[in-house]
């Protein structure tokens, strides 16, 4: 009751999951993003496609058994896509089994016309995405048409995706064919899929920016999460040999070889700019 009065009690949803408290939403979400509408010299080549791997799962079970209502963070997905669209790239939307994309709609920037526009533009693809097996069967032979694979963040990107062998196959395909891989916040959990079936971690020795476990440990105090995380992402990546370049959930972005990463929702605009500029420079 005291937590409710203070506005730090997570909100109980109709399906029994919890979304962030009033205070957490006030501190952790925005009505408009910091997207910069940059006019890039548009890419004119053949490698114009970007595969975007979204989550299709909503509820993450915390250590205390409570379910966190999650999905992909809309700003982390849509702001980088805005930059890449402005740079002349287009998108293929996919989820592990072709079920609809799940967004953290409580984090949607309701007053952001740019984010709203690109969300509406791809709404039908979000509702009817490709499944990863179809992409593997139909597009692996068409490497010349692809520039990158993008895995947006949000806690939901830790559900199903790190445990999916098809995600591992796609990341290895991108790596072997010199495509870029882009991710941010909790999205780098997807990189764990490269270790399935006793394979070596694909990004051992890479610098990357990732959401810090230390912040995830603090957020239950304000009711952002309804309990402590089931497992720690940044520590897991470190244990596999990744070099995490950030210690805060800030605007840090990182480019190491063909891997482009960002630290948090706050890095979404910087990640979009870095990805757009890097792809335009490298794909001339």
User: Do 76 and 104 touch, CB atoms closer than 8 A?
Assistant: no
Residue 185 annotated as catalytic: yes
How far is 102 from 108, CA to CA, in rounded Å? 12
Q: Which of 118, 159, 185, 244 is catalytic?
A: 185
User: Do 70 and 15 touch, CB atoms closer than 8 A?
Assistant: no
How far is 284 from 265, CA to CA, in rounded Å? 29
User: Do 24 and 18 touch, CB atoms closer than 8 A?
Assistant: no
The three-point CA angle 177-202-59 to 5° equals: 105
User: Do 10 and 221 touch, CB atoms closer than 8 A?
Assistant: no
H-only helix segments in the chain:
2-6, 22-28, 74-86, 113-121, 123-127, 132-139, 165-176, 213-218, 233-239, 268-282
Q: Which of the residues are catalytic? A: 185
């Amino acid at each position: 009751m005291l937590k409710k009065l203070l506005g730090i009690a997570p909100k109980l949803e109709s399906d029994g999951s919890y979304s962030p408290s009033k205070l957490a939403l006030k501190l952790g979400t925005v009505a408009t993003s910091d997207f910069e509408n940059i006019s890039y010299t548009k890419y004119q080549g053949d490698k114009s496609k970007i595969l975007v791997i979204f989550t299709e799962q909503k509820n993450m079970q915390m250590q205390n058994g409570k379910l966190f209502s999650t999905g992909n963070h809309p700003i982390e997905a849509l702001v980088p896509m805005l930059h890449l669209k402005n740079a002349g790239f287009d998108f293929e939307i996919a989820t592990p089994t072709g079920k609809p994309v799940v967004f953290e709609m409580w984090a949607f920037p309701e007053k952001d016309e740019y984010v709203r526009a690109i969300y509406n533009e791809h709404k039908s693809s979000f509702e009817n995405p490709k499944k990863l097996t179809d992409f593997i069967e139909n597009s692996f032979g068409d490497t010349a048409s692809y520039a990158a694979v993008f895995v947006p963040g949000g806690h939901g990107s830790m559900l199903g995706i790190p445990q999916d062998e098809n995600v591992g196959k796609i990341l290895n395909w991108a790596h072997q064919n010199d495509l870029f891989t882009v991710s941010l916040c909790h999205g780098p959990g997807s990189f764990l899929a490269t270790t399935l079936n006793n394979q070596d971690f694909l990004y051992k020795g890479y610098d990357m920016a990732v959401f810090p476990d230390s912040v995830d440990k603090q957020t239950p105090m304000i009711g952002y999460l309804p309990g402590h995380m089931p497992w720690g992402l940044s520590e897991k990546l470190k244990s596999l040999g990744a070099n995490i370049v950030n210690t805060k959930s800030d605007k840090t972005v990182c480019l190491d070889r063909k891997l482009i990463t960002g630290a948090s929702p706050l890095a979404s605009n910087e990640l979009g700019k870095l990805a757009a500029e890097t792809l335009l420079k490298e794909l001339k």
